[in-house]
Structure 1
Amino acid sequence: MGLMPISVRTIEDQMAAALTNFEARPSDISRFTYLSAVHHRHRRLYYKFVRENIVRALPIVYTPTVGDVVATYGLNFQHAESLFISIYDKGHIRDLMHNWTDHDVKAICVTDGGRVLGLGDMGANAMGISMGKMILYTALGAIPPTALMPVCLDVGTDNQSLLQDPLYVGARIPRVRGPEYEELVQEFMEEAVHCYGHDVFIHFEDFATPNALKFLAKYQHDYCCFNDDIQGTGATGLAAFVNVERITGRKLEDTIFVFAGAGSAALGIAQMLVIELETRGLSPEEAVKNIYLVDVNGLITCKSENVPDQAKIFVKDMEPIKELISVVEKLKPSVILGATGVAGIFDEKVLKTMAKNHERPAVFALSNPTSSSECTAEQAYTHTEGRVLFASGSPFPPVVINGKRFTPAQANNCLTFPGIALAAISAKARYLPNSVFSVASHELANNTTQEQLDAGTLFPAMSKAHEVAFNVGVALTEYLFDNHLSNVYPKPDNVCEYVKKTLYEFDYKSSLPATWCYPEEEALPEMKPMPKLKKDNEK
């Protein structure tokens, strides 16, 4: 018709064009912008591109570039593909949900932007995080995008730079707290299940630690909900600890752990570790005996003030120690984990002390974005003579020490939360007890090959992230059915095949209607001639 070129591009041709355009962009933020444009005009191509180029695309659509996206959200905002619920919408959330374009929502990722990565309070800009999570639900978990709804509860912000930014997209008011805020969250939960069913999966993301812990305790057993910062991070961290045990042969029961940070991430991992130790037969007192927490004021002891309720089980009856290096020298931990958002606190002294005390020390620098990491991969390998078992929250390039190449593992929640969501949706889970995340941890650990363990790698390769998500999803779906946590009855004969039937198709289907054969006319049986119609005046 002259309105398009004569050539026809297959999906493979379009993938090649997308990759060429992606690589031609001069910066990561411009690559993100290009992919966002693809997402807007050609969703299936977008998800197929991210899925099949996950090693290259993950740092763009997720950490660390998503940190830059959040920081510059107002500058780059063009159109919304998400639901903004402001404090002014209190009492009318159902009306907003009825405005959503897709009515078969099965999963919601909600944030209030209270604590985003290492950036702090980012207000309505945090929608970039909810969008990023939903992208990986589809790209890795193969959950249809029409079943997903990213949400931001805009309750203001205390970030003065945002309030003074003329391009800020959110409410220009101080962050609302107290009863009014909690009533908004309660209304959101009630209207979500009213509009989409009681088994709609609700993923809490980047709430400030006190609120994250409070809402998890309040809603965990009454809604199908999950906090990625606590439970997703906990499951990912425990999987790493299980693999450290497999490599070193040192039982977790006999390992001394130091957690630098007492926020939702550190507490989530520490609590998941306690659950694991208790399932191995330890008493609650024995389970916490070798787990030490360090916050901004030093080691948490009986003399520490303002200790969060969830951290009180880890309080130790000993003299306070202020400096992290002094804690490491005194306790001699074989595992140290950072979730502080403070760059460089695992300095040369800390790393060399870890290496002096243990043949294979384990170091986890989990803070995002990369600029907030407790140490770099190069520092970790260099100061431990290449003996460290290392994992980070953001990706680092390979490191060469004395001619030996080390590939840092990434302790990325994208290895767990897409599979958790897939299982919750497939099984129509009633609620998700902590035991579910323990199952996810062990399944993730089991997806790390022996070859990877022999090389000191603690997690599966990111190129296999979609396979890991499916395996975690199937294992958890099986667990939900077997433990009467599913609203689906009876249990399918083949859970794996049952889950496969729910997955999103990344390739084109035929746009033509289905056709089938009719018998040829001459093959039809001989028919009698139609009777003649009588005229009105005939009897």
Structure 2
Amino acid sequence: MSFFRILNCGVTRLTATRKPQTEQNQNCIQRRANSSQDPIRVPIEIVFSDKFNKALAFTLEERQRLCIHGLLPACVRTYDEQMLAIQSNFESFDTNVAKYRYLRALRQGYERLYFQFVSKNITKVLPIIYTPTVGLACTVYGMLYRGMTGIHITKHDRGHMKQVLSNWPHRNSVKAVCVTDGERILGLGDLGANGMGITVGKMELYTALAGIPPSTLMPICLDVGTNNKSLHEDPLYIGLRDERIKGDEYISFVDEFMESVVDTFGPETLIHFEDFATPNAFMFLNRYKDCYCHFNDDIQGTAAVGLAGFLGIERITKKPLEEHVIVFAGAGSAIMGISQLVKTELMSRGLSEANAVKNLYVLDQTGVLTKESKNIPKIFADFAKDMKPIKTLEQLVEQVKPSIIMGATASAGLFTEKIIRTMAKNHERPGIFALSNPTNKSECTAEQAYKFSDGKAIFSSGSPFPPVEFNGKRLTPGQANNCFAYPGLVLGTMIVMATRMPVEIFLLAAHELSDFPTDEDLAMGRVYPQIMQANEVVLKIGIKVAQYLIENGYAKRSLDPDNLEDCIATDSYNLEYGCSMAETWKYPKMRPNPCPSTIQKKPCDKK
């Protein structure tokens, strides 16, 4: 059986052990039916489980043979009819949180139907199951909670984590986990156990965009407490109402978790870190770099997407990236990851470390990082400039005249009219990246960027903004969405059972992503693909990543690099239902058994 393979119809496996219905068996079943005895049945809780439930798509024959006839109305719906019914329900809700709640119920009751709908309507659904709505949903996750969505491991489970992980219903097929401790959910802060909503949403995009079967995926929340006092008082909060553990106790807890994952599911299990506080995120990324196949999407996935945007600016302006002056507003995990990958990219072009960071400026809450700044994070040490302190972003933009500005601060309105107009005055096509999520945390809106720059800005954001009409021209913002990168990175890594995720694959993903927009897209100022193209982008990145891992000795699964697309297609999650009945086939007419009265006794049988 292939790595990702799942049965096209799980109910088939359940019914395949039934004996062929000979005429004699048929008569026996008929007699039992006539005598009011129950026929042979597939357990109804399996037929209607989330994995196998086809809802009104069960054919009449399937309903009769599975003994569910009469439990459903007479209507048999086609695929298009089912999609219409879901879409009608989805669009009937007034708020995005209500739509999120509806999709959660659909996911828990009808797995394949859910992913059919997400795949077909990715542009509409992505902002609901991912940014920006998933963040808001996490703030009220206790109210929305309806049942099992992943594994919760608490600080009280020390010494028993393998047992907890083994309780997962699909433990024998798990190949990847996405884990959070909920301390830094988007721009919303410490949401504790409510962070489970983030890991669920991330892994659903593994399936929707990369075709990775959900049976191989496990969302995990490490419930080590929360310092959010309002959650302690929230009667609907689903986690521990304790302060967070920290220090050596916290580190040893995560160490045991990592060991337990690979002991339970195998050393090639991919571990995706999500929404850990910045110091912890970098600490674990470095701590486990030589031990596990893992990555941090907030740092590395965001870095690949951010660098891709800069490479897009390079394509539009025809100006080498090393000649651009870039200002990073914020000093969290996103900016740390992006700035480091930009530095790595420039050094790969032959620049020294000093020249690679010469035009890169970082501004935190205290001002621009200079040689005189105190408590500079080690990762930013090379970025500190030998210049007089500058406290505000407006002053920095005025002085260094950046051609690109990127914000990840969760400070709405940080990119003021003065900043944007100054950039437009100094550059023909300034790049403006407002990455903060959700939308109400964005450093500026698309309309502000275009209006204040007189339509010159190349604007991209973390959360979606609608197109803007400016001077009779329709301007479509780009979306610097991690969904373009991390599902492809995961796909390429999982398909070859890689032992590590080296930094080179994140550079590779950035280049593949930046090459995807057409010249027409670039002419419109769009440096990222449209969300409806995400599946194509993810596949392209996945193939390139897998090829790199094979060619550089990171792959444990032997595959032909030239045949990866076919291999991925073979192993992908099948959105089609297939038949729910056991496969049957014909036998030739066989010789009847001899009648006992005609069997001759052997001499030794005589008394």
TM-score where L is the length of structure 2: 0.86
Correspondence for 1:458 = 527
Correspondence for 1:344 = 413
Give the distance between the partners of 1:265 and 1:347, measured in 2 at CA: 21
Q: Which amino acid aligns with 1:532?
A: I
Change (3 A) 1:537 1:290: closer
Picking from 371, 387, 393, the partner of 2:456 is: 387
Correspondence for 1:268 = 337
For the residue of structure 2 that corresponds to 1:56, the secondary structure is helix
Give the distance between the partners of 2:174 and 2:474, measured in 1 at CA: 46
Correspondence for 1:200 = 269
Correspondence for 2:599 = 532
Aligned-residue offset at 1:520: 5.5
Contact 1:221 1:432 in 2 (8 A): no
2:162 maps to 1:87: no
2:226 maps to 1:150: no
**Residues 132-531 of structure 1 mapped to structure 2, 5 A cutoff:** 132-489=201-558, 491=560, 494-519=563-588
Contact 1:11 1:507 in 2 (8 A): no
For the residue of structure 1 that corresponds to 2:409, the secondary structure is coil
Contact 2:496 2:558 in 1 (8 A): no
Task: Describe the superposition over 1:179-202 as per-residue Cα deviations: whole angstroms up to 9, x where unpaired.
Answer: 110011000100100011111010
Give the distance between the partners of 1:482 and 1:3, measured in 2 at CA: 54
**Residues 55-134 of structure 1 mapped to structure 2, 5 A cutoff:** 55-103=123-171, 104-134=173-203
For the residue of structure 2 that corresponds to 1:140, the secondary structure is helix
Aligned-residue offset at 1:494: 1.0
Task: Describe the superposition over 1:362-388 as per-residue Cα deviations: whole angstroms up to 9, x where unpaired.
Answer: 000000000100000000000001110
Task: Describe the superposition over 1:229-285 as per-residue Cα deviations: whole angstroms up to 9, x where unpaired.
Answer: 000000001111111100110100111110000110001011110111011111111
2:82 maps to 1:6: no
For the residue of structure 1 that corresponds to 2:282, the secondary structure is helix
Contact 1:247 1:454 in 2 (8 A): yes
Contact 1:11 1:508 in 2 (8 A): no
Give the distance between the partners of 1:287 and 1:501, measured in 2 at CA: 43
For the residue of structure 2 that corresponds to 1:153, the secondary structure is strand
Task: Describe the superposition over 1:202-236 as per-residue Cα deviations: whole angstroms up to 9, x where unpaired.
Answer: 00000000000100011123210010000000000
Correspondence for 2:26 = none
Contact 1:221 1:433 in 2 (8 A): no
Aligned-residue offset at 1:15: 1.1
Structure 2, unaligned runs of 5 or more: 1-68
Contact 1:341 1:372 in 2 (8 A): yes
Give the distance between the partners of 1:161 and 1:452, measured in 2 at CA: 45
Contact 1:22 1:34 in 2 (8 A): yes
Give the distance between the partners of 2:605 and 2:324, measured in 1 at CA: 105
Contact 1:97 1:195 in 2 (8 A): yes
Q: Which amino acid aligns with 1:318?
A: M
Task: Describe the superposition over 1:135-154 as per-residue Cα deviations: whole angstroms up to 9, x where unpaired.
Answer: 11111111100111001111
2:119 maps to 1:51: yes
Contact 2:493 2:546 in 1 (8 A): yes
Give the distance between the partners of 2:486 and 2:568, measured in 1 at CA: 16
For the residue of structure 2 that corresponds to 1:501, the secondary structure is helix
Task: Describe the superposition over 1:157-191 as per-residue Cα deviations: whole angstroms up to 9, x where unpaired.
Answer: 11111112121111111111101100110001001
Q: Which amino acid aligns with 1:134?
A: M
Give the distance between the partners of 2:543 and 2:571, measured in 1 at CA: 12
Q: Which amino acid aligns with 2:156?
A: Y
Give the distance between the partners of 1:490 and 1:399, measured in 2 at CA: 46
Contact 1:110 1:152 in 2 (8 A): yes
Q: Which amino acid aligns with 1:212?
A: A
Q: Which amino acid aligns with 2:456?
A: R
Aligned-residue offset at 1:491: 4.1
Give the distance between the partners of 1:308 and 1:497, measured in 2 at CA: 45
Identity %, equivalent residues: 49
Give the distance between the partners of 1:489 and 1:140, measured in 2 at CA: 24
Give the distance between the partners of 1:183 and 1:169, measured in 2 at CA: 24
TM-score where L is the length of structure 1: 0.97
Give the distance between the partners of 2:205 and 2:532, measured in 1 at CA: 13
Aligned-residue offset at 1:350: 0.6
Give the distance between the partners of 1:98 and 1:198, measured in 2 at CA: 16
Q: Which amino acid aligns with 2:159?
A: G
Contact 2:226 2:242 in 1 (8 A): yes
Correspondence for 2:58 = none
Question: How many residues are treated as equivalent by the alignment?
Answer: 536
Give the distance between the partners of 1:106 and 1:3, measured in 2 at CA: 37
Q: Which amino acid aligns with 1:68?
A: L
Q: Which amino acid aligns with 1:129?
A: I
